[in-house]
Structure 1
């Protein structure tokens, strides 16, 4: 029969093991390899937000809830974060929070994009709930792949990925990098933290005074 001291030691070991397993599943020990790959094109239902990035969680929740109510998939979501929170006051940080409604070849042509965009602009998510419709073109990105299982993996991803990506961007002109793009894929349980480096004409940094949510 195990004595109290042995039971305490076993309990502690199990607790430590569970913590290590949880951290491992959420990416603490994941090997990071930066890839230069293309993301998009995406058509988005989105809201703009001005304020600390830690506040965007409820916005994601609200948009996904609205999407689900209207039969729009919310399995792939994204956030575009325009300002560097290390140099920009939290209350001035701008972001666009979105569900990816359409992507890929169906919107890869001008005609396909126009048709899909017109359809989305007449959708209840836009006309009744006030979500904006935005187009994120196919863009070359510096990207890291990371597990996506919830808030812990998001925090670990931010902590581990951004320093590596910023190091890889030092050789680029600052004006070429218009914020970061984070794509969250519920089906694959993966997130992609990226910096797009191609020029684009949509989903740009917005006027914080006139385009808040």
Structure 2
């Protein structure tokens, strides 16, 4: 076999591997938008101002505090993003991030509050919901590129007023759940 043929086979195999990896991450996943009730949730969180990429460290920090100081293991991290990064500078973006308590740990809510952790209880609400595969950090970036434009189209098409968006990173179910409360205009 000539060097050229070997090089072409190697290039072809690399391209196939990249396509398969991107498929695994969800690049070719169909975006399905549903309207359904979500919640209630108990959020343990910290406020964040600045680039949204800083929320990952907050989630990890809250997870470690809950696990190491309180013996509470959580399986869902979250971020609530209040501002549109296309309209607000990175330094001014507002969000909260942390972990969602499992129902079995609700008896610890008061103890967490007494120890100066921020705890917020949300009610069940009608929401726009999209589920996306969560394999690793690349899935988060692909989800942002694919999901947000579809949510924006849905909001505009249905005459809704967009509010904050919550991203739930469900480790056990291996999915990111995008949840947007909305107001009919």
- Indicate whether the TM-score tops 0.5: yes
Task: Indicate the residue corresponding to 1:84 in structure 2.
Answer: 84
> Which has more strand, going by share of residues?
2
Query: What is the deviation of 1:95?
Result: 0.6
Alignment length (residue pairs): 182
Aligned equivalents of 1:198 and 1:38: distance in 2?
14
For 1:50-89, list aligned pairs within 5 A.
Answer: 50-69=49-68, 70-89=70-89
Task: Indicate the residue corresponding to 1:120 in structure 2.
Answer: 109
Could you list the runs of 5+ residues in structure 2 that have no partner in the other structure? Answer: none
Deviates more, 1:63-72 or 1:161-170: 63-72
- Is 1:163 the counterpart of 2:163? The answer is no
Aligned equivalents of 1:172 and 1:137: distance in 2?
24
- CA RMSD, 1 decimal: 2.2
For 1:17-32, list aligned pairs within 5 A.
Answer: 17-32=16-31
Query: What is the deviation of 1:127?
Result: 4.7
TM-score by length of 1: 0.77
Native 8 Å contact 1:139 1:198 kept in 2: no
Secondary structure at the counterpart of residue 83 of structure 1: coil
Task: Indicate the residue corresponding to 2:173 in structure 1.
Answer: 188
TM-score by length of 2: 0.88
Match of 1:153 among 139, 146, 149: 139
Aligned equivalents of 2:151 and 2:25: distance in 1?
19
Match of 1:134 among 112, 116, 120: 120
Query: What is the deviation of 1:38?
Result: 1.6
Secondary structure at the counterpart of residue 163 of structure 1: helix
Query: What is the deviation of 1:73?
Result: 2.3
Task: Indicate the residue corresponding to 2:164 in structure 1.
Answer: 179
Aligned equivalents of 1:173 and 1:3: distance in 2?
61
Secondary structure at the counterpart of residue 135 of structure 1: strand
Aligned equivalents of 1:161 and 1:173: distance in 2?
17
Native 8 Å contact 2:133 2:174 kept in 1: yes
CA distance change for structure 1 residues 71 and 7 in 2, over 3 Å: closer, same or farther?
farther
Could you list the runs of 5+ residues in structure 1 that have no partner in the other structure? Answer: 108-115, 200-213
Aligned equivalents of 1:153 and 1:122: distance in 2?
35
CA distance change for structure 1 residues 198 and 18 in 2, over 3 Å: closer, same or farther?
same
CA distance change for structure 1 residues 52 and 189 in 2, over 3 Å: closer, same or farther?
same
